[in-house]
Amino acid sequence: MEYKEREVVSTFFLENSSNESNRNEDGLCDNFFSLIDELNNKLEKFELPSAVKCVYNPTIYARYTFEMYVRKYCNSIKPIMYFGMNPGPFGMSQTGVPFGEVSSVRDWLGIEGPVGKPPKEVESRPVRGFACTRTEISGKRFWGLLKEICGTPEKFFETSFVYNYLNQQWMKSNGCNLTPGDFKVSEMKALYEICDQTFIRVLELYKVQTIVAVGKFCETRAHKAIEEHLPSKSRTIKVLYLPHPSPRTVNNNDWDQKAKEYLIKYDLLKYYVDKD
């Protein structure tokens, strides 16, 4: 199957309308923000592993563009969730958008705006927002594939959205990235209890039927969270695996082609490709 990339840029309309549809959209988004704020409050009480010396939370300091992403694209029921782990240093940590590589967010998703600073900043990992000149390969691959397949962001977000398990980027003092997957399960038990519950509530809020877990960590967490907190849906909510687009993954140079093959196998392309 061949795909032709189309140069299409989304437009974003922030209109204060009184119609019922917009009120419903605002209510859904506000409920989502409440879940995120509650999650952030709980994360403040989580005792981080000693190796973690600095934390960035772009849902706080990049709130403007994070909210723009949600209000623009996550404002309706979504049967499909693409499930990521946490922000990357040159992606969501800069833009507030999951897998948020700067050019993809600005030029395809049509999102751009002011980004603040975290309370503590690592010198080697500055937050420059949309002035960041580093490219996050994972985000460029992820949104690039969706652009190639869907053409417009609106086509993808008709049925789907992207959600990260954890809002925080963790670092060593030298700026080296750390993730929950780098630690023992016993060290992460309290974190899993916090994030699993929010994940489940997001599933219920958006009435998700299919989870496309990006990477093995997310596949495992999705299964465990549903089994623990939503056992009645363990057979009806599908959890599908998609390889992570990180270049750090072994033998991942042809991620785009592999990812397409997975989407074809799962029969998901029908949601993204217009019928002739």
Cα(7)–Cα(27) distance, rounded to whole angstroms? 32
| CA nearest to 206, candidates 59, 79, 27 | 79
- Give me the DSSP letters along the chain: ------------------SHHHHHHHHHHHHHHHHHHHHHHHHTTS---TT--EEE-HHHHTHHHHHHHHHHHSSS--SEEEEE-S--TTTHHHHSSTT--HHIIIIIS---------SS--TTS---GGG-----HHHHHHHHHHHHHHSSHHHHHTTEEEEES-S-EEE-TT--EE-GGGS-HHHHHHHHHHHHHHHHHHHHHHT--EEEEESHHHHHHHHHHHHHH-GGGTTTSEEEEE----TTSTT-TTHHHHHHHHHHHTT-GGGTS---
Q: Considering Cα of 201, then 13, then 127, then 37, what sign does the dihedral take? A: negative
pLDDT, tens only, 212-247: 999 999 999 999 999 999 999 989 999 999 999 998
User: Phi-psi bin for 214: left (phi > 0), alpha (psi -120 to 50), beta?
Assistant: beta
Cα(21)–Cα(114) distance, rounded to whole angstroms? 28
pLDDT, tens only, 178-195: 999 999 999 999 999 999
253 pLDDT band, cuts 50/70/90, is confident
- Asked if residue 208 has pLDDT above 80, the reply is yes
| CA nearest to 93, candidates 62, 49, 47, 65 | 62
55 pLDDT band, cuts 50/70/90, is very high
Structure tokens at 220: 């495992």
Strands ordered across the beta sheet of 169-171:
54-56, 169-171, 177-178
Structure tokens at 127: 């937050």
pLDDT, tens only, 78-94: 999 999 999 999 999 99
Cα(88)–Cα(111) distance, rounded to whole angstroms? 18
Q: For 14-20, what is the mean pLDDT?
A: 50
**For 20-271, which CATH class?**
alpha beta
Q: What is the pLDDT of residue 251?
A: 79
Q: What is the pLDDT of residue 274?
A: 81
Structure tokens at 213: 């877990």
Q: For 138-142, what is the mean pLDDT?
A: 97
- Asked if residue 16 has pLDDT above 50, the reply is no
Q: What is the pLDDT of residue 25?
A: 80
Global pTM reads 0.91
19 pLDDT band, cuts 50/70/90, is low
| CA nearest to 213, candidates 262, 254, 250, 256 | 262
Cα(10)–Cα(6) distance, rounded to whole angstroms? 12
Q: What is the pLDDT of residue 20?
A: 62
